[in-house]
Amino acid sequence: MVTGATAGIGAAFARRLAADGHNLVLVARNEDRLREHAAELHDRHGVEVGVLPADLASEEGIAAVEERLADRKHPVDLLVNNAGFGNKGEFLEVPMADELAMLKVHCEAVLRLTSAAVTGMRERRRGGVVNVASVAAFVPRGTYGASKAWVVQFTQGAARDLAGSGVRLMALCPGFVRTEFHERAGMGTDNIPGWMWLDADNLVDAAMKDLARGRSVSIPDPRYKALMGVVKLAPRNLLGGVTSRTGRKYGPQ
């Protein structure tokens, strides 16, 4: 199962898993785009692709996906929690409803869907969850970065608690990826250096290798690994200024 599956990193995960011969369940808000993407994957790779339209900013949407994950007759062996978005603007400029919707999608949905998936996986003693976070988790930058920091901490803690169960959990922390993410949020990208952009398909390939290695956190590119090494040594107030100049959000989805 892949959430946020119609574009960007989610679509890249779906392409990779379908190419590997896995049947899929795709989750997103737009049913027409879901069905179009599902038909393309089925025709190209011969796999079964189910669709589940759901808005993970709503209680109904999260509950519908939880119910599918709890289906013992059609178990999910890999969950990719990729759904997410960014808000344009600094603190107090973004409406509170939008900030709360972000926490619903990035935190509550990830918690509940991971829990729903892992319950059955632990019983079967196999399975995996990839929670898509961001390198923004490691820099002080508003609600987006804070929510992604929660994803990383939650995933690492859950992975430790489930050690030896046969279930793997990993937080995926990309940097800037060429997707629809920034356009949807109305964010400009002209000030982002070319070297900072990643390809979604290459990113997914690296992430799948890290998951197979049993890593609980994946920063899937040498450039960002080096950058995050510098981040660990830099003063927090300096980091805030740098991230302001390089863009409001590091957007993975």
Q: How do strand 176-177 and strand 197-198 relate by DSSP bridges?
A: parallel
Contact between 41 and 14 under an 8 Å Cβ cutoff? The reply is: yes
pLDDT of residue 227: 74
Partners of 78 in the beta sheet?
A: 128
How many angstroms separate the CA atoms of 253 and 203, rounded?
A: 12
Give pLDDT tens digits for 34-45.
Answer: 999 999 999 999
pLDDT of residue 176: 81
pLDDT of residue 252: 42
Contact between 69 and 113 under an 8 Å Cβ cutoff? The reply is: yes
Contact between 3 and 65 under an 8 Å Cβ cutoff? The reply is: yes
Give pLDDT tens digits for 165-184.
Answer: 999 999 999 988 865 544 55
pLDDT of residue 241: 46
Q: How confident is the model at residue 63 (pLDDT cuts 50, 70, 90)?
A: very high
Question: Position of tokens 């820099």?
Answer: 139
Please report, for the chain, how many H helices and E strands are present, in that order.
Answer: 10, 9
CA 158 to each of CA 6, 121, 170: distance values in angstroms, whole numbers, following the listed order: 27, 13, 9
Q: Is the pLDDT confidence value at 242 over 60?
A: no
Q: Is the pLDDT confidence value at 26 over 90?
A: yes
- The phi and psi torsions of 98 (rounded to 5 degrees) equal -70, -40
What 3-state DSSP class applies to 52?
Answer: strand
More confident of the two residues 243 and 77? 77
pLDDT of residue 125: 97
Catalytic residue numbers read 144
Q: Is the pLDDT confidence value at 236 over 80?
A: no
Contact between 154 and 131 under an 8 Å Cβ cutoff? The reply is: yes
pLDDT of residue 184: 54
Q: Compute the 3-state secondary structure of the chain and give helix, strand, coil in percent, each to the nearest 5.
A: 55, 15, 35
Q: Determine the topology of domain 2-246 in CATH.
A: Rossmann fold (3.40.50)
Give pLDDT tens digits for 185-197.
Answer: 444 555 665 656 6
Predicted TM-score (pTM) of the model is 0.86
Which value, to the nearest 10 degrees, does the dihedral of the CA atoms of residues 61, 179, 41, 72 take? -30
How many angstroms separate the CA atoms of 6 and 2, rounded?
A: 9
pLDDT of residue 222: 72
The mean of the pLDDT values for the chain is 87
Give pLDDT tens digits for 198-221.
Answer: 899 999 999 999 999 999 999 987
Q: How confident is the model at residue 141 (pLDDT cuts 50, 70, 90)?
A: confident
Residues 6+ apart with CB under 8 A from 187: 86, 88, 247, 248, 249, 251
